[in-house]
Amino acid sequence: MSESSSQFEKRKQDHIRIALDPRSQAEGLSGLDNVQLIHEALPNLNFKEVDSSTSFFSKKISAPFFISSMTAGHEKGLEINSRLAKLSAEKQILMGVGSQRRELADPEARQEWKEVRKQAPKALLLGNLGIAQVIRTPVDQVQALVESLEAEALFVHLNPLQECLQPEGTTEFRGGEAAIEKLAKTLSIPVIVKEVGCGFSKDTLKRIYNLGVYAVDVSGLGGTHWGRVEGYRSEKTELLFQVAQTFENWGLSTVESLLSAKEIDEKIPVWASGGVRDGLQAAKLLALGADMVGIAQPWLKAALESPEAVNDLYEKLLLELKIAMFCTGVANIGEFKTKRVWKWHAR
């Protein structure tokens, strides 16, 4: 179903408003409460020696957490994304952009990201398209899209539940695997497949791992639930609202999805997101094997407040992560791979 520019903007504004509503959050379902980091009372290092930096291909980045894809294409979009992109540039962390679906049909929509790029030329941006668009868009058009953004990589997001509950949803997913494989082989930048908050089963991950993608972001249940978000766009008396209530806890948790991914193949990078609200939770996912950790809603709240709030959030997340590393005896991000610093929380 096609939608007008005004309908698109209204949908994106609805998403922002509802994503900030506590009812849209699958709080307590990420599995992170079941994970405890093991305290090291006598770490053999000084706190100032703790190194949170890591790399993305040839680029050194200051921390292993990234700004997860959120929004674009509406009145507040430019302000939100400019503030976040400036932080990405200044601190050298990765930033996923909102869905670029609209830009495929309306090249003028690319102006927002061109303006963002002008304000933050050194931002490390990750493009973003849904699987439904990847299936029906020629690779050369996708290539042009990522070139206009000057993207470091491209997210392909999978969101079947959201599309089913969205009045404007696109539910044609047949041929998705072949489309991802072709894109991964042809595109000039890495392809990262992600969910949007419902996680991955082990069987699905096995299939995706065979498609030549660079990484998978498991994006599990535990944070903003897009089934709930779409449901709350409808009136309580409407069918989609009622059906969304049925599926309000649908998905596989962030922790379960991450452990499934690591069990299948240690060589393919696994990114983890879904319900991460602080640096301690990010440290837990790193300890479980994540290579990068995505955070969305806290960045959205901060970006709506002020540039200072965005910077303050970065500093808070970084300090929390470093304290968690120091208090587990982890000197650098690589040591999360070689040390067992977590256990299941005793209930």
Name the DSSP letter for residue 58: T
Note the pLDDT tens digit of each residue in 284-307: 999 999 999 999 999 999 999 999
- Which residue ranges of the chain lie beneath pLDDT 70? 1-6, 8, 72-74, 347
Q: Is-contact 35 342, C-beta < 8 A?
A: yes
Identify the pLDDT of residue 184.
99
- Cα atoms in the Cβ-side hemisphere of radius 13 Å centred on 274: 33
Closest CA to 268 of 194, 202, 216: 216
Checking DSSP bridges between strand 215-217 and strand 191-195, what pairing results, if any? Answer: parallel
* Region 5-344: CATH code: 3.20.20.70
Closest CA to 179 of 149, 202, 206, 212: 212
Q: Biggest alpha carbon distance in the chain?
A: 61
Identify the pLDDT of residue 73.
62
Identify the pLDDT of residue 76.
83
pTM of the model: 0.95
Apex 306 CA angle, 304 and 309, nearest 5: 100
Q: Is-contact 285 68, C-beta < 8 A?
A: no
Identify the pLDDT of residue 235.
87
Q: What is the residue whose two structure tokens read 């991955």?
A: 200
Identify the pLDDT of residue 1.
47
Q: What is the residue whose two structure tokens read 């994503």?
A: 19
